[in-house]
Chains A and B, each alone.
Chain A
Amino acid sequence: MSSSVTASPATEGLRRALPIVLGYVPVGFAFGVLAVKNHIPPSLAVAMAVLMFSGSGQFVFASLWGAGAGILSVTAAVFIVNLRYLLMSAAESPWLARLPRGRRFLLGLGLTDETFAVHITALQGGWPLSPATMFICNSTTHLAWVTGCAVGAFCGELVNDVRPLGLDYALTAMFLALLVPQCVSRLHVLVALFTAVLSIALKAAGMSQWNVAVATVLGASLGVLLLHIRRGPGLNTPDAAGGNEARPAQSASPEVRP
């Protein structure tokens, strides 16, 4: 992702947004259809897309609301699904520390699984911190999400099956393409495998609202534990394993390089 570091913020923001847009439009569409099926008026389905901008949270909301769950249990379920945002928002904070608080707040509003993944990968890959790029990417994907939801909510019956276009696989393909460059050392590969298997197992065991947050907390903890147990060469410095890990600005973390 670091082929042209000289691209303008708009170009780079749109480039980051492109695969996300491909995935958000059909998923947003599916949400709009589901929301109306679950007795949510189309206008409020679109309002949810504007205000929440959270695929998993909105899907949990629609299915629980349709099943007749109460206000507190719907809100609690949405919160549990969104616990992972706490982790991602915190993980972004060292990279954004130089920005004024207002901009960090604004970029936090645009945080989703997908925008987090592309931004953090770009920053680790050496892209300079550009709030304009991040904001353009977040806004473009937000617009795509709202558009997909609106089309699904207001004219869901007009559109036929989108599966032949393969777009239901777009976000999965994007995560695979972003996960591989994250694996900069054997330790990171181990953390990825452990977390993926744990997340799958928790979901298969019925914890489909908790699985991502719980697996991420335990996976990151395993990573730190192994890092601190075996501070031998090659393990404690991801960059020594041929990775391209750039440290967040202003945290020259000498403790990682003894």
Chain B
Amino acid sequence: MNTTMSAWVDAHGALLLCILGSVLATLLPKVLPVTFLRGDSLPALLRHWLSFVPVAVMAALVGPDVLFYEGRFNIGASNLFLVVSLPALLVAWWGRNYFATIAFGIGLVILARWLGWY
């Protein structure tokens, strides 16, 4: 048992180290600011700056999600996610209903694929 264990560790030593490094590179950015920043006494300028982070980070994430379809930049009608996202944005804007927007978007994707358009 011990020899198979150490053989396994030997075989995957580099991978284990790499995972350890990547776990640190992931968890430290997640926990350090919220654990150690005194969020209620930050300078006003920084607090204003941070108040724009949610809208900015969501836009930065969703923009490429919509315009890169199947790994490629695509602003044509062959980009299903772009075609679906335009009416989904309208539903989000007018309906102001979180679950309705998600159901509408997923529903359109299912429909388009079921009809064989995409």
Please provide the 5 A-B residue pairs with the shortest distance between their CB atoms, ordered closest to farther: A93-B39, A196-B63, A173-B105, A219-B56, A223-B52
Q: Shortest CB–CB separation between residue A24 and chain B, in angstroms?
A: 14
B: residues with CB less than 8 A from A are 12, 14-19, 21-27, 29-40, 42, 44-45, 47-68, 73, 81, 84-85, 88-89, 92-93, 96, 98-99, 101-102, 104-107, 109-110, 113-114
A256 touches B109 (CB 8 A): no
Q: Which residues of A sit under 8 angstroms from B58, Cβ to Cβ?
A: 117, 175, 178-179, 182, 192
**Given A177-B101, A182-B55, A193-B59, A94 and B50 touching (CB < 8 A)?**
yes
B15 touches A172 (CB 8 A): no
A44 touches B15 (CB 8 A): yes
A126-142 CB contacts (< 8 Å) to partner B: none
A108 touches B30 (CB 8 A): yes
- List 20 other contacts, CB 8 Å, given A52-B26, A175-B65, A176-B101: A22-B106, A57-B22, A57-B25, A61-B18, A71-B14, A78-B22, A85-B29, A89-B29, A89-B30, A89-B32, A111-B31, A116-B57, A169-B105, A171-B65, A172-B105, A177-B88, A200-B64, A215-B59, A220-B49, A256-B48
A180 touches B61 (CB 8 A): no
Q: Which residues of A sit under 8 angstroms from B101, Cβ to Cβ?
A: 173, 176-177, 180
Residue of A nearest to B45 (CB): A224
A: residues with CB less than 8 A from B are 1, 19, 22, 40-41, 44, 47-48, 51-54, 57, 61, 65, 71-72, 74-76, 78-79, 82-98, 101, 104-105, 107-109, 111, 113, 116-117, 120-121, 124, 163-183, 188, 191-193, 195-200, 203-204, 211-212, 215-216, 219-221, 223-224, 227-228, 248-251, 253, 255-256
A104 touches B102 (CB 8 A): no
Q: Which residues of B sit under 8 angstroms from A174, Cβ to Cβ?
A: 102
8 CB contacts below 8 A, A to B, read A51-B23, A71-B14, A71-B21, A88-B54, A177-B88, A200-B67, A216-B56, A219-B52
Neighbour of B61 across the interface among A79, A113, A227, CB < 8 A? A113
B26 touches A178 (CB 8 A): no
B29 touches A169 (CB 8 A): no
A168 CA to B105 CA in the complex, in Å? 11
Q: Shortest CB–CB separation between residue A115 and chain B, in angstroms?
A: 10
Main secondary structure of the interface of A (DSSP, over half): helix
Neighbour of B55 across the interface among A105, A173, A183, A211, CB < 8 A? A183
**Given A41-B12, A90-B53, A173-B101, A107 and B26 touching (CB < 8 A)?**
no
A71 touches B17 (CB 8 A): yes
Residue of A nearest to B111 (CB): A166
B59 touches A196 (CB 8 A): yes
B48 touches A93 (CB 8 A): no
**Given A174-B102, A181-B96, A203-B68, A195 and B63 touching (CB < 8 A)?**
yes
Q: Which residues of B sit under 8 angstroms from A75, Cβ to Cβ?
A: 18, 21-22, 24-25
B60 touches A180 (CB 8 A): no
